[in-house]
Structure 1
Amino acid sequence: MQAMQDEAKRWLRQAEDDHATANLLLEQGRYSACAFHCHQAAEKALKALLYAAGDRPWGHVLPALLERAKSEGIAEPDAEVTQAVNELDKHYISARYPDAYEAVTPAEYYTIGMAEETVEWTEVILQFVRQHLL
């Protein structure tokens, strides 16, 4: 079980690094990339939660990862965490692929406000995971 705890911590460290990268991208005006890195941070944080419980998570759909943690009795998310997960999940595809929008690219579509919101939602998820891991 200690190996799974160590793996969980490793995933959380990478989630924290992805979140730091998202903040740098926000500062540089790279808003769609910021949003994608926020999704990545949230995904890795939720997977850390599952690893800590001895699970071997797979997939990229944030609500499914959160539901798995909930259904397995690992953690009970509140409304804010659930909303954060649902909001961030929208950015997995749309922050990267031009066919998500007509006539513009994600880099042209995303605004500072959108990016700031993804950073805030990620902080909610990271805090939730930290509370259950540490």
Structure 2
Amino acid sequence: EKEELQKAWLKSAIEDLETAKDLFRLTRFSGCLFFCHLVIEKTLKAIYIKVNDTYPPPTHKLINLANLSKLELSTELKLYLAEITTFNVEARYDIFKEKLYKKATKEFTKKYFDITKVLFIKFKNLL
């Protein structure tokens, strides 16, 4: 069952990565960033299951998930995860959406979409 749960989280992360790619192509940049967050969150939750042998906690905070999964995080990686975490909050709640729309330029979104792809591969290789 543990392996099935890991596979389910990873499969969902892969689907979300494809969705992020499609949204970027369609210039739906804030949506792309939201899905970037989902990709990393779901991949970290798969790692959490592997490391802790239990279902992951209901959190969207990527640094917390990484720490609970006993991952060593560089300062740079912590900064990326902190920024990517904001995409979840800012996309979900109307009072924060304007902030995400303003920063979700093509250049900013491409940067974080590229970072997401690199992190996805890095984290996936830990499974």
Fold shared, TM-score > 0.5 on shorter chain: yes
Is 1:97 the counterpart of 2:93? The answer is: yes
Give the aligned length.
125
Shift in Å, 1:118: 2.2
TM-score (norm 1): 0.81
In 2, distance between residues paired with 1:15 and 1:81? 19
One-letter amino acid matched to 1:69: S
Classify 1:116/1:40 alpha carbon distance in 2 versus 1 (closer, same or farther; 3 Å).
same
Shift in Å, 1:31: 0.4
Structure 2 equivalent of residue 56 of structure 1 = 55
In 2, distance between residues paired with 1:4 and 1:13? 14
Is 1:35 the counterpart of 2:57? The answer is: no
Classify 1:24/1:128 alpha carbon distance in 2 versus 1 (closer, same or farther; 3 Å).
same
Shift in Å, 1:77: 3.6
Larger helix share, 1 or 2: 2
Shift in Å, 1:35: 0.4
Percent identity between matched residues is 27
In 2, distance between residues paired with 1:109 and 1:78? 25
Query: What aligned pairs does 1:47-86 form with structure 2 within 5 A after superposition?
Result: 47-53=45-51, 54-58=53-57, 59-70=59-70, 75-86=71-82
Larger CA Rg, structure 1 vs 2? 1
One-letter amino acid matched to 1:118: Y
Classify 1:82/1:127 alpha carbon distance in 2 versus 1 (closer, same or farther; 3 Å).
farther
In 2, distance between residues paired with 1:105 and 1:22? 19
In 2, distance between residues paired with 1:105 and 1:90? 10
List runs of 5+ in structure 2 lacking aligned partners: none
In 2, distance between residues paired with 1:55 and 1:33? 30
TM-score (norm 2): 0.85
| Aligned partner of residue 78 in structure 2, secondary structure | helix
Shift in Å, 1:65: 0.4
One-letter amino acid matched to 1:67: N
Shift in Å, 1:76: 2.8
CA contact (8 A) 1:18 1:41 kept: yes
